[in-house]
Amino acid sequence: MPKRANRNIASMASAGSGTAVTCDVAIAGGGVIGLATAWSIAKGGGTVAVCDPDPGRGAAWVAAGMLAPANEAFFGEEPLARLLIAGAARWPDFAAALEDATGSSIGFEPSGTVVVACDPSDRAALDRLLDFRQSIGLDATRLSASECRRRIPSLAPGVSGGAEVPGDHQVDNRLLVSALLEACRGAGVAFVRERAVAVELDARGAARGLRTEAGSEIVAGAVVAAMGWQTGGLEGVPASLWPDVRPVKGHILRLRGSEPIIPRTIRGLVHGRACYLVPRRDRSLVVGATVEEMGDDRRVQAGQVHTLLDDARSLVPGVDELELSECSVGLRPGTPDNGPYIGWTEVSRLAVAAGHYRNGILLAPITAEAIVALLEDGALPGALTPFGAAPRAHGRPARGAR
Ligand code: GLY
């Protein structure tokens, strides 16, 4: 793998349609993974072009921004849990570096999470999960109902208990994405605001760049496919090369009040359904999220909004008083075993970074670091080895509600 194909290229910010762009690395997809990767490569001196009609406005824009290695660790997914823990460890430095580069806060709040069970059967389910999480070394402590209410005074009086999870934090996903865009521009990343439709190959069958729907060509020393659930739609290489990534729909709500109604993130189980409430510094509250196998369906549906609101107010009745300011839908990049695909494909000089499912924001820094290592040394860092780019046939379908 050439380290850097062309060090002398000028920055080509906002290249237009029909342009030919030459760079070290062409990234298909300007979501949080593509942007974090582009910034990391550009900081190291590489020239990068990101190809996306609307960078930063995919799943990460809709998300809640939870950085939750413990609450996203599930039975049978120990390798993924280890990756989430490694991913979380990168966050303090990543947030500080990004805030330094842009001079803007990204709302990184290392304030922990309180988990709450609504009824006794939710409590039993939560206790089993806690046992599992503690068994793999995650920090979580059981709380009685009154201990939960001491931490979150606005909780409903009837909650059954819960847990303190000190290592699960949050970042303001929209501030994050905006800062990444700014940092990328500051580091000279070129944005080609067109959709990548094909990987272009040279005479030896190695990736030599990307082609967009408007006919622009990005010629590069290496290509990274990071188009979330749409990654497998890139043409120019056999479809069987791509990992199995599908859209998993999530409804999410944004509410607003004159006072913060909770001091920090709550994750709840409400009659078997998962629900989270994430307070922002600007006094807005993010409530999410459904997990729906609906394919590429971006409709906001009344019933799902109703269920989310109902579950949120079962945990925190004060939700009733808030203004409902936004109902949105995101499409997570789901995979058969819920783990991402990060690494070289069988096509020389073509890498993939996709399928981060519920953990794209948490895993953005470690993914960027891994792609930089791949480009420089050719190999994936250890924590990532179970998550290489080759399609994985094993694994279970993603669960429903979490
Ligand atoms: N990361 C939480 C979710 O995907 O809903």
Delineate the domains of the chain, giving CATH numbers in brackets: 1-109+170-245+336-402 (3.50.50.60), 113-166+246-334 (3.30.9.10)
Could you tell me the pLDDT band of residue 392, with boundaries at 50, 70 and 90? confident
Q: Which residues line ligand 1 (CB under 6 A)?
A: 64, 66, 250, 288-289, 332, 358
The CA 16 to ligand 1 mean position distance, Å, reads 34
Residue with tokens 């780019």: 389
Cα dihedral 52, 251, 158, 171, rounded to 10, equals 10
Share of the chain above pLDDT 90, in %: 90
Q: Which atom of ligand 1 is nearest to the CA of 360?
A: 1
pLDDT tens-digit readout, 147-197: 999 999 999 999 999 999 999 999 999 999 999 999 999 999 999 999 999
pLDDT score of 43 more than 60: yes
The CA 268 to ligand 1 mean position distance, Å, reads 13
pLDDT tens-digit readout, 74-125: 999 999 999 999 999 999 999 999 999 999 999 999 999 999 999 999 999 9
Q: Which atom of ligand 1 is nearest to the CA of 68?
A: 1
Give me the pLDDT at residue 2, please: 39
DSSP assignment letter at 353: E
**Helix, strand, coil shares of the chain as percentages rounded to 5?**
30, 25, 40
SS3 144: coil
Instruction: Determine the Cα–Cα distance for residues 134 and 287; give it in Å rounded to an integer.
Output: 26
Instruction: Determine the Cα–Cα distance for residues 109 and 279; give it in Å rounded to an integer.
Output: 10
The CA 275 to ligand 1 mean position distance, Å, reads 10
pLDDT score of 9 more than 60: no
- Please tell me the residue having the least CA distance from ligand 1 atom 3: 358
Give me the pLDDT at residue 20, please: 76
Torsion angles phi and psi, residue 300, rounded to 5: -85, 120
Neighbour-count burial of 24, counting CB atoms closer than 10 A to its CB (0-12 exposed, 13-18 middle, 19+ buried): buried
DSSP assignment letter at 113: E
Give me the pLDDT at residue 153, please: 97
Cα–Cα nearest to 366, from 10, 92, 27, 1: 92
pLDDT tens-digit readout, 235-272: 999 999 999 999 999 999 999 999 999 999 999 999 99
Structure-token pair, residue 177: 């994405």
Structure-token pair, residue 398: 């993603």
pLDDT tens-digit readout, 283-332: 999 999 999 999 999 999 999 999 999 999 999 999 999 999 999 999 99
Q: Evaluate whether 312 touches 274 at the Cβ level (below 8 Å).
A: no
Q: Which atom of ligand 1 is nearest to the CA of 358?
A: 4
pLDDT score of 10 more than 50: no
DSSP assignment letter at 354: E
The CA 338 to ligand 1 mean position distance, Å, reads 12
Instruction: Determine the Cα–Cα distance for residues 226 and 245; give it in Å rounded to an integer.
Output: 11
Give me the pLDDT at residue 4, please: 40
Q: What is the mean pLDDT of the chain?
A: 93
SS3 39: helix
Give me the pLDDT at residue 331, please: 98
The CA 63 to ligand 1 mean position distance, Å, reads 7
Give me the pLDDT at residue 390, please: 86
Give me the pLDDT at residue 398, please: 42
- Please tell me the residue having the least CA distance from ligand 1 atom 4: 358
Share of the chain above pLDDT 70, in %: 93
Instruction: Out of 61, 66, 252, give the residue to mutate to test ligand 1, the one with the largest number of ligand atoms within 8 Å of its CB.
Output: 66
- Please tell me the residue having the least CA distance from ligand 1 atom 1: 358
- Please tell me the residue having the least CA distance from ligand 1 atom 5: 289
The CA 395 to ligand 1 mean position distance, Å, reads 19
Helix (H) or strand (E) holding 243, with range, is none
Neighbour-count burial of 384, counting CB atoms closer than 10 A to its CB (0-12 exposed, 13-18 middle, 19+ buried): buried
